[in-house]
Copies of this chain bind each other. A is one copy, B any other.
Amino acid sequence: MEKPYVVGIDMGGTNTKFGIVDARGNVLNSSSIKTQQYTDINEYCDILCQEIMKLVEAQGGIEMVRGVGAGAPNANYYTGNIENAANLPWKGIVPFAEMISERLGVPCRITNDANAAAMGEMTYGVAKGMKNFIMITLGTGVGSGIVIDGKVVYGHDGFAGELGHTKIIRDASARECGCGQKGCIEAYASANGVARTAQEWLSTSDRKSLLREIPLDKVTSKDVFDAAMKGDEMAKQIFEYTGDLLGQKLADFVAFSAPEAIVLFGGLTKAGDILMEPIVRSLNTNVVRFWKNKVKVLFSSLKDSDAAILGASALVWDVDAHAPMSKTTTTAE
């Protein structure tokens, strides 16, 4: 009998969420642990697998589980390793898929978080049925998962889809990005980027703004959104500026893979129309003419809390996948 469930893991810098998912994309139960609490990767994996087993037992035991899919920063689909992730407590190369597989006795496949989101969107979300789309995650940073002909693009080394680190500003004013480069779109169109824009504009002008009620270094993208909703002109212009820059980059991305749609996901998308409108306007102003008004820009339809778990789980349902699943060492197939 086909094993009916998959475990999905969404490893973030702060929290690691995980859940049991069925083939229809229902998250049957879920839980989380604090990622940063475990400086030893072995201890982290031990605790994570113990907690996963509690969920698994509640669903009939590990015999019901086909495999584990995990989305994690800097995860390499080809090797199953997490490599030099800046926002995780473990440095160097971590053979994560193997470590999970050893502990749970089922195969494990991993990919980076944005690719996991793309898988989830294609399997369960607004990109269902689409063969060509680009997923852009607008969270603390800007991530991307590119789908061409129904497959996530991994490239030669497994690290394809780093669109957050393509350049939008190339002059002397370009902001430093966390990646060590300057002018990356991540430094502008992420939640952090919006906060930086606000801080820059507030500190270099005398314009009135509700944002001045907040200590400069404490202003967040959420504050900018709240101020914009109250009609604050500067706050509205910050979203206009952010959307315009992102739209310019989306025009470049369209010229690459000619997607049917671009799907936006992550915390910053909660801004809604105030972000979407300038993005769409800028995309259609800047794109090569035969794509004008032809490429859909959509917000993800997946629930925030479930999307990454679902996306990670979709890795295991994906029968076409070309990466080997890590070997199981404690059970026979």
Contact = CB atoms under 8 A, between A and B. Distances in A.
Nearest to A146: B256
A131 interface: yes
A83 B290 CA distance: 10
B255 A163 contact: yes
A290 B157 CA distance: 10
A330 to B, nearest CB: 32
A227 B272 CA distance: 55
A258 interface: yes
Contacts of A148: 148, 153, 155, 160
Nearest to A256: B256
Contact of A289 (B131, B146, B180, B260): B180
B84 A290 contact: yes
A102 interface: no
A256 B289 contact: no
Given A181-B288, A290-B84, A258 B132 contact: no
A192 B255 CA distance: 21
Contact of A258 (B151, B156, B286, B290): B156
A268 to B, nearest CB: 20
Interface string A243-261: 0000010011101111110
A183 B158 CA distance: 31
Sorting the interface of chain A by its residue count into under 10, 10 to 19, 20 to 34 or 35 or more gives: 35 or more
Q: Which of A156, A168, A179, A286 has the most CB of B within 10 A?
A: A156
B149 A132 contact: no
A291 B288 CA distance: 28
A236 to B, nearest CB: 22
A166 interface: yes
A322 B131 CA distance: 13
A160 B257 contact: yes
A288 to B, nearest CB: 5
A253 B165 CA distance: 11
Nearest to A160: B258
B257 A146 contact: yes
A213 interface: no
B255 A165 contact: yes
A167 interface: yes
A176 interface: no
A162 interface: yes
A288 B179 contact: yes
A288 B163 CA distance: 10
A299 interface: no
A257 B153 contact: yes
B252 A155 contact: no
A161 interface: yes
For the complex of A and B, list the 10 residue pairs with the smallest distance between their C-beta atoms, beginning with the closest. Answer: A155-B258, A160-B258, A156-B260, A166-B252, A162-B255, A132-B156, A165-B288, A160-B257, A155-B257, A159-B258
19 contacts: A132-B155, A148-B148, A149-B322, A153-B256, A153-B257, A154-B258, A155-B259, A156-B259, A158-B258, A159-B258, A160-B256, A160-B258, A161-B258, A165-B255, A166-B251, A167-B286, A169-B170, A170-B170, A181-B286
